[in-house]
């Protein structure tokens, strides 16, 4: 038996699939998804062709922030099952060639975690950030225990920030400690212990939540990067097969900081997430009021531009080099799905053709492969609302498996579901699309198979952009010509001097020195110079 290759090798061929476990599949009829439900659907994931899945946090939690408030890092939440259930699921996935990643909340715990409860009653404890003052510093929360003073949360008040130190000291804030103080050292060791525990049980790595947030007052994230490089060195020595992906939102900084990959996100330190928003964002569903409205390139109006994304991708690719990868998600649990607002089902194929042929690691959010939509008006649940126009619940609705009650997600009463289903009677389902060879699901499956079977379409192969606009035209590995036209109107441009044979195409013609693409057209062609 050959040893598993290092993470940088297997990640190069990864097609990621994100599972929000509460909403994927419920095996016991309590209305909440669980590990046994996911295990029962592994055949579907194998059929689809994805080879790496990551779960949102599944650790013990009071769920004030959907599990991103961890009360016990070494045990899973009972609503999902047991540690043994997760191990069995991981082994079953491995037999199908699917690796499993967990979501590691590194920067904070729940206020119900034993570490915090002890710290709230021990003035000498440095595991969290405490201000021993009579008035609360900005953003700090009053101690819930016998310890006087206030603690600093990372997000909600119920998420006290773990203390990884401050990069800079300040005389007016005597609670600051350096990164090598006792508390920060203890917390760094705890991260090793947590990762070691789960990797020894067969998991393949982690996606790290808010990875840039650990060290406070850290200009350029220099000390935080040093922390992660230290952990990456340990990981490479102890678990060289394990992958470390970050929620940093800026791969050109995250990869040099020690991560194997980072996601372009709708937020982040890179121009506030502009590269991803310029592709997908419809100004619907999950909207930060501070964002400037932007017409996405993948919009029917044809008023967007791919240049914002392309410029960021070029800059980032040069910075990252061969050290790691950029990941491009269709969506995730924090922002709107591809099918959101005015974007209709007929616009989704071109988006997937782009995502699955571009030299980034594709990450498909569960249900996007059938065109599940962001559901406006979904009730707020477990901290989903972040602002007047920013509620994440609409991206977390139950997976739509079939047309049976509750769309095959659960046998529970409809009133007991984790979140309501999309009420649209025409909502897409896996069953209906599997029965239709012309469906989005079958297209995504074919695209995944083509990418996995073809080195030139992978993350490491070269890319030459021939036309920036409508249509977007590029060549992968000198062998494949890709054309996408995300707008409703037709578009055309000059074609390269080559003979083009369609591999996967709809509404695109390449002949007579021209590329002609109908509205929402797409095409992948093999080419030979003429």
CATH number at residue 490: 2.60.40.1180
> pLDDT confidence of 273, banded at 50, 70, 90?
confident
Q: Same structural domain for residues 99 and 112?
A: no
Specify if 171 maps to a domain.
no
Specify if 2 maps to a domain.
no
| Bridge partners (DSSP) listed for residue 231 | none
Q: Same structural domain for residues 143 and 278?
A: no
Residue 270: pLDDT over 80: no
Q: Same structural domain for residues 395 and 490?
A: no
How confident is the model at residue 289, as a pLDDT? 87
| Bridge partners (DSSP) listed for residue 129 | none
How far is the C-alpha of 140 from the C-alpha of 137, rounded, in Å? 6
- Choose the final residue of a domain: 116, 133, 161: 161
Span of 2-11, 22-31, 338-347, 408-417 with lowest mean pLDDT: 2-11
383 close to 65: Cβ distance less than 8 angstroms: yes
pLDDT digits (tens, 9 = 90+) for 99-123: 999 999 999 999 999 999 999 999 9
- Choose the final residue of a domain: 453, 476, 495: 453
pLDDT digits (tens, 9 = 90+) for 9-58: 999 999 999 999 999 999 999 999 999 999 999 999 999 999 999 999 99
Q: What crossing angle do the helices spanning 348-357 and 440-453 adopt, rounded to 10°?
A: 10
Specify if 269 maps to a domain.
yes
pLDDT digits (tens, 9 = 90+) for 296-319: 999 999 999 999 999 999 999 999
388 token code pair:
């007047």
How far is the C-alpha of 193 from the C-alpha of 197, rounded, in Å? 6
Q: Same structural domain for residues 444 and 472?
A: no
Q: Same structural domain for residues 377 and 493?
A: no
Q: Same structural domain for residues 141 and 47?
A: no
* Structural domain harbouring 480: 462-529
Q: Same structural domain for residues 67 and 129?
A: no
How confident is the model at residue 280, as a pLDDT? 95
**283 Cα distance to chain centroid:** 19
Specify if 166 maps to a domain.
no
- What CATH number is given to the structural domain containing 124? 3.90.400.10
Contacts of residue 347, defined as CB under 8 A and 6 or more positions apart, other chains included, come to: 298, 300, 486, 520
- What CATH number is given to the structural domain containing 442? 3.20.20.80
> pLDDT confidence of 292, banded at 50, 70, 90?
confident
Q: Same structural domain for residues 330 and 467?
A: no
Compute φ and ψ for 280, nearest 5 degrees.
-105, -30
Residue 260: pLDDT over 50: yes
How far is the C-alpha of 488 from the C-alpha of 380, rounded, in Å? 34
Give percent above pLDDT 90 in the chain.
94
Specify if 173 maps to a domain.
no
Structural domains counted in the chain: 3
Q: Same structural domain for residues 295 and 329?
A: yes
How confident is the model at residue 268, as a pLDDT? 64
In the predicted model, what is the mean pLDDT of residues 133-161?
A: 97
pLDDT digits (tens, 9 = 90+) for 432-448: 999 999 999 999 999 99
| Bridge partners (DSSP) listed for residue 527 | 500
How far is the C-alpha of 406 from the C-alpha of 138, rounded, in Å? 45
238 close to 246: Cβ distance less than 8 angstroms: no
DSSP 127-162: SB-EE-SSSPPTT-EE-SSSS-SEE-BSSSTTSBBB
pLDDT digits (tens, 9 = 90+) for 184-215: 999 999 999 999 999 999 999 999 999 999 99
Specify if 422 maps to a domain.
yes
In the predicted model, what is the mean pLDDT of residues 158-183?
A: 97
> pLDDT confidence of 226, banded at 50, 70, 90?
very high
> pLDDT confidence of 5, banded at 50, 70, 90?
low
> pLDDT confidence of 259, banded at 50, 70, 90?
very high
How confident is the model at residue 269, as a pLDDT? 54
Q: What's the mean pLDDT when you consider all of the chain? A: 96
How many CA atoms does the CB half-sphere of 434 hold within 13 Å?
11
Q: Same structural domain for residues 296 and 240?
A: yes
- Choose the final residue of a domain: 402, 434, 453: 453
Q: Same structural domain for residues 48 and 24?
A: yes
How confident is the model at residue 272, as a pLDDT? 62
In the predicted model, what is the mean pLDDT of residues 353-369?
A: 98
Q: Same structural domain for residues 419 and 520?
A: no
How confident is the model at residue 18, as a pLDDT? 98
What is the H or E stretch that residue 189 is in? helix 182-199
Residue 1: pLDDT over 50: no
How confident is the model at residue 358, as a pLDDT? 98
Specify if 489 maps to a domain.
yes
Cα–Cα distances in angstroms (integers) from residue 65 to residues 26, 182, 506, in the given order: 20, 29, 42
Specify if 135 maps to a domain.
yes
């Amino acid at each position: 038996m050959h040893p598993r290759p290092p993470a940088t090798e297997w990640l190069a061929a990864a097609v990621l699939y994100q599972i929000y476990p509460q909403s994927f599949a419920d095996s016991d009829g309590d209305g909440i998804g669980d590990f046994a439900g996911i295990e029962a659907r592994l055949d579907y994931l194998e059929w689809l062709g994805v080879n790496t899945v990551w779960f949102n946090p599944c650790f013990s939690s009071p769920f004030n922030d959907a599990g991103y408030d961890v009360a016990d890092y070494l045990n899973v939440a009972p609503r999902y099952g047991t540690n043994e259930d997760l191990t069995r699921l991981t082994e079953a996935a491995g037999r199908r060639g699917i690796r499993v990643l967990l979501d590691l909340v590194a920067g904070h715990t729940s206020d119900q975690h034993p570490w915090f409860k002890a710290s709230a009653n021990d003035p000498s404890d440095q595991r969290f950030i405490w201000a021993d003052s009579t008035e609360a510093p900005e953003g700090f929360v009053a101690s819930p225990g016998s310890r006087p003073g206030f603690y600093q949360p990372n997000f909600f008040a119920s998420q006290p920030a773990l203390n990884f130190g401050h990069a800079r000291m300040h005389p007016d804030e005597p609670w600051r400690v350096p990164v090598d103080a006792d508390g920060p050292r203890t917390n760094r060791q705890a991260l090793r212990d947590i990762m070691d525990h789960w990797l020894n049980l067969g998991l393949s790595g982690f996606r790290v939540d808010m990875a840039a947030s650990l060290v406070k007052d850290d200009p350029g994230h220099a000390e935080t990067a040093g922390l992660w490089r230290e952990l990456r060195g340990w990981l490479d020595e102890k678990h060289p097969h394990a992958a470390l992906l970050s929620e940093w939102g800026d791969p050109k900084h995250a990869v040099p900081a020690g991560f194997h990959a980072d996601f372009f996100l709708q937020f982040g330190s890179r121009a506030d997430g502009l590269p991803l928003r310029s592709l997908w964002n419809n100004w619907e569903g999950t909207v930060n009021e501070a964002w400037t409205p932007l017409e996405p390139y993948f919009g029917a109006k044809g008023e967007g531009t791919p240049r914002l994304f392309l410029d960021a991708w070029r800059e980032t690719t040069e910075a990252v080099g061969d050290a790691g990868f950029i990941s491009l998600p269709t969506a995730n649990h924090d922002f709107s799905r591809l099918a959101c607002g005015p974007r209709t089902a007929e616009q989704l194929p071109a988006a997937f053709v782009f995502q699955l042929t571009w030299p980034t690691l594709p990450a498909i959010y569960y249900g996007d492969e059938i065109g599940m939509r962001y559901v406006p008006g979904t009730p707020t649940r477990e901290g989903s609302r972040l602002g007047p126009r920013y509620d994440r619940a609409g991206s977390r609705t139950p997976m739509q498996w079939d047309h049976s009650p509750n769309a095959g997600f659960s046998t529970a009463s409809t009133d007991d579901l984790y979140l309501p289903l999309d009420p649209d009677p025409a909502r897409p389902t896996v069953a209906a699309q599997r029965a239709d060879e012309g469906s989005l699901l079958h297209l995504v499956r074919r695209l995944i198979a083509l990418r996995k079977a073809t080195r030139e379409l992978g993350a490491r192969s070269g890319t030459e952009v021939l036309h920036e606009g409508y249509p977007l035209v590029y060549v992968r590995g000198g062998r494949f010509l890709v054309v996408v036209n995300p707008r409703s109107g037709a578009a055309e441009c000059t074609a390269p001097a080559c003979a083009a044979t369609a591999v996967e195409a709809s509404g695109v013609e390449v002949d007579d020195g021209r590329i002609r693409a109908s509205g929402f057209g797409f095409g992948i062609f093999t080419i030979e110079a003429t």
